[in-house]
Structure formats: structure tokens, C-alpha cells
Amino acid sequence: MEIEVLHGNITEFDADLIIVNLFEGIKEPVGATKAIDKALDNSISNIITLGDMKGKKGEITRLHTFEKIPSPRVIIAGLGEQENFNTREIRNLGANLIRACQGAEIRHIATIAHGIGTAGLSLQDSVQAFVEGVVLGNYRFDRHKTPKEDPDNLIERLTIIENDSEKIEEIQKAATKGCVLAQATNLARDLANEPANHLTPSDLVERAKKIAESKNIELEVLDRETMEAKGMGSLLSVAAGSVQPPKLIRLTYRGKDAEPGFDLALVGKGITFDTGGISIKPAPGMEAMKADMTGAASVIAAMEAISAIKPEINVTAIAPCTENMPGGNATKPGDVVTAMDGTTIEILNTDAEGRLVLADGICYAKELGARNIVDIATLTGAISIALGDQCYGMMGNNTDLLAKISDAASESGERVWELPMFEEYGEQIKSDVSDVKNVGGRPAGSITAAKFLEKFVGETPWVHLDIAGVDMATKNNGWVTKGASGQAVRTLINLVCNWKN
Ligand code: BES
Ligand code: ZN
Ligand code: ZN
């Protein structure tokens, strides 16, 4: 979708549709809504007086303009109560409006910045959130449909119109940023939605190559031999049952002078399909495990946006990628393997494979000199028992880094919830035969998974995000689209772009 910012008067602009707004309880329209009302001989005020339009959240009122203004259609979008209006609402509004327009004869939409002045939002925040919502709401995954869904159904162009020429530059910047964040999220969605036969670890390498080339970021790929040489026995144990070779993908962005190590490493779980291995999963719903590489997709996509925004930080993204399959060579329950740092692991359930690949990913981040680590993974079914799909879980060892993630999530309009990491939970993953075992029983399943990761992190400030409850959505809801949701991608980007040492 093309996004443009123009100086002008919305009443004089020619688009397929113009979108203005109304807060709940407002009887006399103001701003752009007032200008359109006047141009349409008070139609909007008359509808308000009739009681047919109340400005409630989600309310969409459509008018035809019959050549009173150049644009043939107007939507008045209800914004709800002014006190409750924020960027989270604007983002969802943008997505809901774009969906309401799809399927009609509408290709080009024009609108203004919403909620400025009256609701006290900054122009920049408002425009960025609206553009994010529009681009995220316009997403679809149809590359395997023949023919593809009607391309004419998609909105092609959004124009944001501002009558004060001094504000144009600020709006343009905000629109560009919103677009970059949303496009990266859509990239992560594309990767997570892709069926596992179209996205093996090697396919993911090809996708990462394209991103690295176009964005001028550095790519490193570790293959099986290098993993063996590095002693990544934990990651390799997951790959043992698969005919697809494992790959560790690493993308690096340097936004400051060369210095040893990295301010931050993002480590994403990249299981391109999780059958459970020998501890095989039940058949119903197993297809969802094509998205068990959402962590990897999220860190790769985040790097694309980071390289466009160019913050002053050195950051590397690490995605240990493999299938988890049963097979003649597969890891068996009871096997003991050794991770890169020498830790021995008793594998009691081969379906708890995410923590095994992350363990070596985290060890590698430390070898590279990461001063902070954030990992992201569809790690445990237990996180959806604890939190459902309203938020994702975070656990960590450093209050400052946890706070940075919280702030980045709220800036993104996402919810994250911290779970405790009391020392005693560590008892559950003590093994009789090795340094640690890979499962800790049903109680506090998400926490014991994090406790396992903590062993490899050591003293490095670290946060683990468990996104297994939110990675796939069953329906469209505001900016979240059905299928791969793209949750936490913008949070990672905002974390990196707001970084202060
Ligand atoms: N990939 C799954 C977790 C998952 C479940 C992601 C549902 C998305 C939706 C993970 O590898 C897994 O199987 N975890 C096990 C761990 C258990 C064996 C300790 C689980 O959660 O059941
Ligand atoms: Zn599993
Ligand atoms: Zn898994």
C-alpha cells in the first residue's frame, strides 16, 4: 500500500473515500468533521440530532456525497469516549476501518490525523499508530490460493491530509515509521503462516539472505558441521530425527562504531515444524506447529525494521532453526546431550525441544559478547493456560531489562505479563543423571521452561518472552489478523530503537 502525506483541505480532495471521526457524546462536530459537515449541508449534524450516530467506539456511518465534494463517499468513524482514546485505539481503528472498506469499490482512502487536540494525543503518535493499523489490517496470506484472492479487494493508497503546512514533515516521519514497523510485522506473519513444506530451515536461510542483501545487514549461517565443531549438542539433538539440515541464522546490525560484542542479542526459537519428535504430539491441531518458528520470524523481521530506522545500537539476531521429527536417528526420551557451554541435559520429553535449541542459541549469544539477551519463543502450551491470548508472558533476571520490555510493549499497544522466577522452581528441573533435565512436570510449566534457559544465561541481563498463547489468532481483532498475529514484533523493534545503555 502506498502511503502519502499531503498539505491541503480534505473537503477539496478527490479520493474514493474520506474518513473523518466523531467522539461519543459530541453534538457539534469540530475540525475536519465540521468542515465536511458544512460541505455536505449539515448532513452529519442532522444525523447526530436524529440520534442515528452517537460516536460510539466501532460505529461506522457511511454517507454518499453526490458531488457536493470531490470524493464520493465519507465514513464517520466513532471513536468512543475521549478519556479512553489512546494510540492502542487508533491502531485498532485503522485496522477495522481498512477491513470495513475491503471488498467495495474503494482503492484510495484519504483521512486526517485522529484524536489530536481534543483527546490530547501527539500528532506523531496518532499518525504512526493509525498507519500501523491500516497496514496491519490490510494484511492477507493468499500466496497458495489459485487464483489469488481478488487483488482489487485491497486498498492501494492512503493519503493523510493536513491543512497546516508546518506539520507535514512530522506527519511524514510518523507515517514512514508506522509503515516500517507494520511491514516488518507482516513479514513475520508471512514467515509464520508459511506451511512447513515451503519453509524448511534452508528456505528460511534464503529468506534471510534476501533481507540481508536488500537492507545491508550482515548474515551468518551456521550449518551442521559448524554446530558440531562448536559443541551445540543440544540444538543438534533436536535436529537428529529430521532429513532437513538444521541452520543457525544470524543477522547483525551495527548502528555505532565497531566495539567488541553487542549491546543486545535477540534469540528466536526456529522450529519450522514441531511434531514433538519421539514424544509425538496428538494429531488434532498439530498443523499449528508450522508456526513454531514464530520467535525466529520475529527476530529476523525486527532486524529488517531496525536497519531501516537506524538506531544507535549494535544488535545481533540469532535464530536456531530445525524441524523436530521422529525418525530412526531421533533423540529418545532418557538421552543425555551436552550443550555448547558443557552443560549436560537429560531429555525426558522430546517435545520440550524449544528450550534445547534456545540453550545453544543463548550460549552462542554469550560467546559473541552479548551484554543483554532477549529470547522469544512459542515455548509452552502452559503459557496459554496461565494467560490465554490476552497477553504474552515474560520472565527474566534483570528488573531494568524487564521494565524496558514492558515500556516497549505498551508503546506497541500490546500486553505482556511477568511471571515469577523464584529459585525454588529450579528444583523441578534437577536431574538424577545430568546437570539439568528438559522438563519440570505440569505445575508452573512456563516458569520451569524459563528456569531451564536461565542456566545458560548466567549473569547476563536476560528476558524470555513466551508467545505460545498469542502467536496464532483464531479471528481478526483490531490490528491482529487471523492466523499468524505478529504479536511482539513491534515490541522488539521499539525496544531496540529506544535503547539507552
Ligand atoms: N511448540 C510447543 C509449545 C506450543 C504449544 C506452542 C501450543 C504453541 C501452541 C512446545 O515445543 C511444546 O511442545 N511444549 C510442551 C512442553 C512440555 C512437553 C514440557 C508443552 O507445552 O506441552
Ligand atoms: Zn514441542
Ligand atoms: Zn515447539
**Binned average pLDDT, 10 residues per bin, the chain of 501 residues:** 96 97 95 97 97 97 97 97 94 96 91 83 95 96 85 84 96 98 98 98 98 91 98 99 98 92 98 98 98 99 97 98 98 98 99 99 98 99 98 98 98 98 98 98 98 98 99 97 98 97 81
Which bound ligand lies closest to the C-alpha atom of 349? 1
Which bound ligand lies closest to the C-alpha atom of 383? 1
Q: Residue 260 corresponds to which amino acid?
A: P
Instruction: Choose the residue to mutate in 298, 348, 380, 387 for probing ligand 1, maximizing ligand atoms within 8 Å of C-beta.
Output: 380
Give catalytic status of residue 143 as yes or no: no
* Ramachandran angles phi, psi of 108, nearest 5°: -130, 120
Domains, the chain, with CATH or none = 2-182 (3.40.220.10), 194-497 (3.40.630.10)
CA of 209 relative to ligand 2 center, distance in Å? 27
The DSSP bridge partners found for residue 464 are 375, 395
CA of 352 relative to ligand 3 center, distance in Å? 7
Give pLDDT, residue 355. Answer: 99
Q: What is the dihedral of CA 403, 396, 377, 238, to 10 degrees?
A: 160
Which pTM does this prediction carry?
0.97
Q: What is the pLDDT of residues 22-39, one digit of tens each?
A: 999 999 999 999 999 999
- Tell the residue nearest (CA) to atom 5 of ligand 1: 381
Give catalytic status of residue 27 as yes or no: no
Alpha helices by DSSP H, 194-218: 201-215
- Tell the residue nearest (CA) to atom 8 of ligand 1: 468
CB 160 within 8 A of CB 111: yes
Beta strand 108-111 with 157-162 is parallel
CA of 388 relative to ligand 2 center, distance in Å? 18
Q: 204, 184, 208, 182: which is closest to 194 by C-alpha?
A: 204
Q: Residue 69 corresponds to which amino acid?
A: I
Atom of ligand 1 nearest to the CA of 380: 21
CA of 432 relative to ligand 3 center, distance in Å? 25
Instruction: Choose the residue to mutate in 280, 351, 375, 437 for probing ligand 1, maximizing ligand atoms within 8 Å of C-beta.
Output: 351
Give pLDDT, residue 378. Answer: 99
Which bound ligand lies closest to the C-alpha atom of 351? 2
CA of 161 relative to ligand 2 center, distance in Å? 49
- Beta-carbon contacts of residue 206 (< 8 Å; ≥ 6 apart): none
Catalytic residue among 157, 215, 281, 332: 281
The 10 Å CB-count burial string (b at 16+, else e) for 472-493 is: bbeeeebbbbebbbbbbbbbbb
Beta strand 335-338 with 392-396 is unpaired
Atom of ligand 1 nearest to the CA of 324: 11
**Residues with a CB atom less than 6 Å from ligand 1:** 274, 288, 292, 349, 351-354, 378, 380-382, 439, 445, 468
Q: Which three cell numbers stand for residue 487?
A: 504479536
Q: What is the pLDDT of residues 81-121, one digit of tens each?
A: 999 999 999 999 999 999 999 888 899 999 999 988 766 78
CA of 450 relative to ligand 3 center, distance in Å? 14
Q: What is the pLDDT of residues 408-466, one digit of tens each?
A: 999 999 999 999 999 999 999 999 999 999 999 999 999 999 999 999 999 999 999 99
Catalytic residue among 73, 247, 355, 490: 355
Whether residue 72 has a cis bond before it, omega within 30° of 0: no
